[in-house]
């Protein structure tokens, strides 16, 4: 849903000043097909990049096919933000990459914890009013990492 993507981009940009949010970056070759991530998160100072895909309104069949494709590609810096309503298995999703589970909205603090742990720690030290972004109506989020 574009509203989820717009909100994520806005909130991430507000909190992660050293990072660029590139919407709809160049496609990536994954085996015999292309993968079109929703975002590329790029640190300006180092060029370090992560790719982020928001998995919202996909059918369970499409999700299973996409996850198999992404698992085969073994993308090291892929973050999947998965709507808990998709009802896919945790093991199936974790085999692909780092995962942030969400309800309604993606919690940008969970994504920042993956891409920039030092910034995440600094944000955690700030008063709660400045940390509300991403959590106001989204409910609980949880983060999982790829099994190695």
Q: Is residue 74 helix, strand or coil?
A: coil
Give residue 59's pLDDT: 72
- What are the DSSP calls for 114-143, one per residue? HH-HHHHHHHHTS-HHHH-TTTTTT---EE
Average pLDDT (89-116) is: 84
Q: What confidence category does residue 89 fall into, taking pLDDT thresholds of 50, 70 and 90? A: low
Q: What is the pLDDT averaged over residues 17-43?
A: 90
Q: What is the pLDDT of residues 5-14, one digit of tens each?
A: 999 999 999 9
Closest CA to 66 of 86, 45, 39: 86
The pLDDT of residue 52 is above 80? yes
- pLDDT for the residue 88: 66
Confidence check: pLDDT of 108 > 90: yes
- Is 80 exceeded by the pLDDT of residue 111? yes
How far apart are alpha carbons 82 and 48 in whole angstroms? 23
Measured on CA atoms in the order 60, 66, 68, 74, is the torsion positive or negative?
A: negative
In this predicted structure, the answer to whether residue 38 has a pLDDT above a threshold of 50 is yes
The mean pLDDT value of the chain amounts to 80
Mean pLDDT of 65-70: 77
Alpha-carbon distance of 78 to 59, in angstroms, equals 21
The mean pLDDT value for 129-147 works out to 41
102: Cβ contacts below 8 Å, ≥ 6 apart:
81, 82, 83, 84, 138, 139, 141
The mean pLDDT value for 108-118 works out to 96
At 133, the pLDDT band (50, 70, 90 cuts) reads very low
């Amino acid at each position: 849903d574009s509203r989820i993507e717009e909100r994520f981009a806005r909130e991430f940009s507000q909190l992660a000043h050293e990072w660029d949010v590139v919407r709809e970056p160049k496609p990536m070759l994954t085996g015999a097909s292309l993968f079109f991530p929703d975002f590329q998160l790029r640190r300006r100072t180092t060029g370090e990049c992560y790719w982020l895909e928001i998995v919202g309104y996909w059918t369970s069949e499409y999700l299973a096919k996409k996850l198999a494709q992404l698992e085969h590609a073994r993308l090291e810096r892929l973050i999947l933000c998965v709507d808990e309503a998709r009802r896919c298995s945790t093991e199936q999703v974790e085999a692909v990459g780092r995962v942030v589970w969400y309800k309604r909205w993606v919690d940008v603090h969970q994504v920042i914890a993956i891409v920039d742990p030092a910034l995440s720690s600094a944000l955690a030290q700030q008063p709660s009013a400045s940390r509300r972004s991403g959590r106001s109506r989204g409910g609980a989020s949880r983060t999982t990492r790829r099994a190695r």
